[in-house]
Structures are given as structure tokens and as C-alpha cells.
A and B are shown apart, each in its own frame.
Chain A
Amino acid sequence: MSKKKKRALWVFGDYRNYFQNRVTLQLLSRARELAAKIDAEVCAVVFGYWTDEWVGDALSQNPTFCGVVGEYIAHGADKVYLTDHPRLAAYSMETYALLMERLARREAPEIILIGATTFGREFAPRVAKRLGTGLTADCIGLDITGEGLLLQVAPSFGGNLVAEIVTPDHRPQMATVRPGTFQEIPHDYVRTAEVVRVPLPKDLPADRVRLIRSEHRPMRGRKIENARVVVCGGRGMGSKKKFLKLFELAELLNGEVGATRPVVYADWADHDALVGQAGKHIKPQILFSFGISGAIQHTAACNDAKFVIAVNKNPHATMMKKADVAIVADAGQLCTALIQELKRRIR
């Protein structure tokens, strides 16, 4: 074959907790748009066991029953690299990092995108380290520059800034992206793709970290990521007692409560409620923001809110500048007044 090898854009197939975690599908969707700009193919990389059980006949069968390989093809992968082996039955950090490193050395992809799940956030830096390349964590946007480089848009270091980052000389260019950043494309079960089976290396060492037990914890019924109304509170609420009032307000508004990092650290709210670069991304119709100054790690995760009502004693707080309605008042007092008024109006 004299045909020049096509450039490739890889997406790591993070299928664990599949029905709650659609970040791989979201990345495949964005990857297709990026790949079109650099004439590359989109490849999904899957390590596991029984992941392809249905891939052979997924195309004609009930979509509910197709394996993750079939699902990635239906969502836009042009090619799937698959290592399927009983030893990969559970997610295993060292083993997966080694497999990814070897495959990337062999195939030399231009770009590797990884979902910023708990696993992905540990996996990506390990793979980047092994490959001697750079990595941008928690991108809020991805594009291709005029020179054909991956443009990695990420909130930057502490300040209220967004940085555009490139990896000029090292390959692959790597980035992690939070779930919910991009939209998946509808599945297309008539798409076909090449499945490249990669055998498990014979010299694969045992993982030095042993999984003793793994228990699935179901997610809470309602999810803040999909809530139409979110009530977020920050340190400006003043105390845990006052912060808990936000739950009453959220209940009246059929919404969910979100929190900033200082609030989570102070144990006023669970880590689950963290809205920010290292927590949940939200996209409500209405965001109520109480006593939040607006550090970039927080605001980057609520840029998709349609309408923002911010309450803060300090009219110059970043969150107040970003709001549709900026209310200059004590966050706790206003929360109480709002609860009273809502109770009066909802009958």
C-alpha cells in the first residue's frame, strides 16, 4: 500500500458507568468536526472485556443491545481500536496506561481526547507523561488553529481568565474535557467502521494496584447538570445554617442546589454539589447565584446558564458583572425574602 497513512484523532472509550457517562459520545461528536478541518479520521480506543459482544450484528439489531464498540461507531467513530481480554474486565490504571502508550507509539495519532471522568483525569496525565507530551486539563472548548494545531481552550490559573493553549512540537496533542461540554450527535446505526483488534501484549505485567471491591453507587435521582433551575451558593451566604436555606428555595423553584469550592471545603455542601471546573457543568434556564464572587473555576462551569440572577453585597464581584440581574444585598437575607414571596405566590 503506497497510500499515505491518514492522520488520526483519537477518543478514549470511557464506557464505565455508560448510561450516566456520555462524555465519550460527546467527544466523538466534536472530534468529527475537528477531524474534518485537518482531514483526519476519528478513532475510538476501547480496552475491556465483552465490549464488542454485539459489534458484529449491531448494525441491524435493536440498538439497546449493541456493545460499546457498536455504539461508538453509531456515534461517529471511523475506526475502533479494540483490545478485548478477560484481564481487562475491570478498569485498571497501569494496564490501560501501558496499552494506550504502546498503541499511540505504534499508530502516532495527532490528537488524543479523554473525558474528564475520575478515571480519565488520572489516566490522561499518566499517558501524557509516558509519551512525553503536553496535556491541557478540563478544556471548555476545542478547535483547530490556522496552522492545523489543536486549540485547547481552558480556564487559566486562578485568575478570571481563559487561555488558548497549543502543543506545537510534541505529539500527540492531548486534552481532557468535562462531561457535558459538547453535544453528542444522534446515533446512526447504519454507519460502518473498521474494527482493529489489538492483542493483549504477552509481556503485560500485573497491575501493581489491586482492585479488592467495587460497588456501584447510583446517582441521585435528579441531576444538577440537567436542572432547569439551579440555586448556587458561595461563602457569601455567611454560615452553614444560612446556606441550608438554599435547599428550601431550590425546592420551591423545582431546582437543584450547587456550591462553590470554598463552601464544599467548609462542609456546607457535598462534593456532589460542586459547580466548577473540577465539579459539575450546569446549563439551567435560570441560575440564582448567592454570595458568589465568581472565580473562573466556578464561572466557567455556568457560562451556559441562560439567565443569571446574582446576589452579592459587593456590586463589583465578577459574578455580579456577569449577571442579567445583579442584586446588591445580603445573600442570606435575600434568600429568606425570596422564599417568603415564592410561598405567597405559589398556591
Chain B
Amino acid sequence: MLHMVVCLKQVPMVSELPWDPATRTLQRDLAGGMINPACRSALEAALRLREIAGGKITAITMGPPMAEEVLREAIALGADRGVLLTDRRMAGADTFMTSYILARAIEKACPGFDLVLCGFATSDSETAQVGPQLAEELDIPGVAYVDEIEVSDHTVRMQRLADNFLETLEMDLPGLITVTGCVYVPRHVPLGGLQAAFAAADIVTLDAAALGLDPARLGAGGSATQILNVSSPTLGKKNIVLTGTPKKIVEQLFKQYDDKIGGAIGKDLKSDKKAS
């Protein structure tokens, strides 16, 4: 019996989001959300481990109230319960603060947990920092970028590819793993799952006070880093636009750039070259 905790982040479905110049953060609330792909793989890993070893899965997320959607989706996929961490004072949290909040929430809502699973990175910020920092904050062993997990008794064996080394690692539980999408390709929501998610879904909501968080550590003011300036990178290119049928376009492309392309690949691409 494994008590697993899966950390999920809701990420925007689109890559371009309105920027709020006043707060210098993205207006995430304006985009449709989805479960971050790597977090889905972490949930998939938990579901497969439960099929083998038995146990229960708690899905946990931090975000605005609408982030409850990802917990319902997780329950539809097979998680047993959900924990939503939502509080205006948690908004704008950096990875340092996020790991602090998640750690206190896991201790509070999931006492006696065996394994924390996170996605290796999120698609919106890609820092890959929350998992390792959460392991530090919980003071448990942790391994990042894991492709495959095997559990026996209270030990997990993991495989990962790190800097061209295929590593097999082992740790005793409780522990934390961040998961890649190589092996744990997420399943689709089963029909029966939808009912579970929208009937009597077991979801609790906790705010900063319920978690006993230190108010001085919360909010964007608690962040060690500060954004000075944000710009859109431009390259100052000529930007020649070609249109028409593919055949016509390719003809035009070679007419203008056969030397350039030929030079880069070390071949003569002139069409009028004479057979020698």
C-alpha cells in the first residue's frame, strides 16, 4: 500500500498570454487551462504504481479557484482525492515559495505519505525547479528526470538518462520523484471516471491560514528575484514573403537563394549547370 501524492500544475493552453505591465506578470486567468503535460505523466506513473502495489493517490494543486478543474480531471483519471491550495497571497509565488507552500500542504493534508510525484518541468515556465526544491523543503531523498519507477516494499528503483549516462538509482521511502514523459504516456479519461469526478469528488480547499504559512514569506514580495524589464526579442530581418503553389515557391526560393543554400551544404544547386 503506497500513499502517493501527485503535484499538478494548471498551465495555460496557449503560449501567448496577455502581459500585465502593472504587476509584471502574465494574466494567466485569461487563458483556458490544462494539466501540465509532464504532471500528467507523474499522475500516470502513480496510477501504474497503484495497479501494481495498491494504495491511494492524492492529487494536489496550487492556483486560482479554477485550478479545481485539474483536480477533477485527476480524479476522473483515477486519483482518490484532491487538495486545492488557493489564496490571493499565494499568487505570484516563485519556485522557492511554491516549494515551501507545497511542502506544508503535503505535511498537513497527506501525513504518512510514501511518495511524492511531480512532472519534471512545466510547459509555461520550464524552470524544473519546484520538484528538487520540494524534496529539500520536505527533507526527503529525491531524484529528478526519472523515466521509469519500480517499487518493492519501501524502496524505489529508478532509471533515468542524465547527461548521457543511463543511471539506475535507489532510495528508501518516503521520497520524491520528478517524472519525464518517456515511459509514462498519459492515459485518456475513462467514461466511468467522469462520473467519479463530478459526483461526490473528495476535494478539500486550503488557504494560507489553514496551512499555517508565514505571511512574511508569501506573495511576490517574498521572491528573491525581481524582473527589471521585459521585452519582445526582434531580429531585424528582411522578412521576404513568398506565396503561391509549393512548386512555384520552391522555384522562387532556389532562384534567389541557390548560392546561399548550396554554400551551407557544400553542393552546387544551380539548375543551369552543365554536365562536365
Contact = CB atoms under 8 A, between A and B. Distances in A.
A329 interface: yes
A308 B257 CA distance: 12
A125 B226 contact: no
Given A158-B26, A297-B126, A326-B240, A212 B169 contact: yes
A336 B250 CA distance: 10
23 contacts: A118-B161, A118-B163, A125-B95, A126-B135, A132-B224, A151-B228, A158-B12, A160-B232, A163-B229, A165-B226, A210-B170, A211-B167, A212-B170, A215-B166, A216-B166, A265-B37, A321-B239, A323-B239, A328-B241, A329-B246, A341-B254, A345-B254, A345-B269
A26 interface: no
Contacts, number: 263
Interface in A284-337: 284-286, 293, 295-297, 299-300, 303, 307-309, 315, 320-330, 333-334, 336-337
A34 interface: no
A221 interface: no
A20 B163 CA distance: 9
Interface residues of A, number: 102
Nearest to A277: B126
A218 B257 contact: no
A342 B264 CA distance: 14
B224 to A, nearest CB: 3
B121 to A, nearest CB: 6
B123 A261 contact: yes
A269 to B, nearest CB: 13
Contacts of A342: 269
B169 A333 contact: no
A232 B93 CA distance: 34
Contacts of A344: 271
A128 B96 contact: yes
B146 to A, nearest CB: 11
Interface string B41-81: 00000000000000000000000000000000000000000
- A interface majority secondary structure: mixed
Interface in B235-274: 235, 237-244, 246-247, 249-251, 253-254, 257-258, 260-261, 263-267, 269-271
B205 interface: no
A77 to B, nearest CB: 21
Contacts of A157: 17, 25-26, 124-125
Interface of A: 16-17, 20-21, 93-94, 97, 117-119, 121-122, 124-126, 128-130, 132-138, 145, 151-152, 156-170, 208-219, 228-229, 253-255, 261, 265, 267, 271, 277-278, 284-286, 293, 295-297, 299-300, 303, 307-309, 315, 320-330, 333-334, 336-338, 340-342, 344-346
Given A137-B126, A297-B126, A325-B240, A158 B133 contact: no
B237 A16 contact: no
A133 B127 CA distance: 15
Nearest to A310: B239
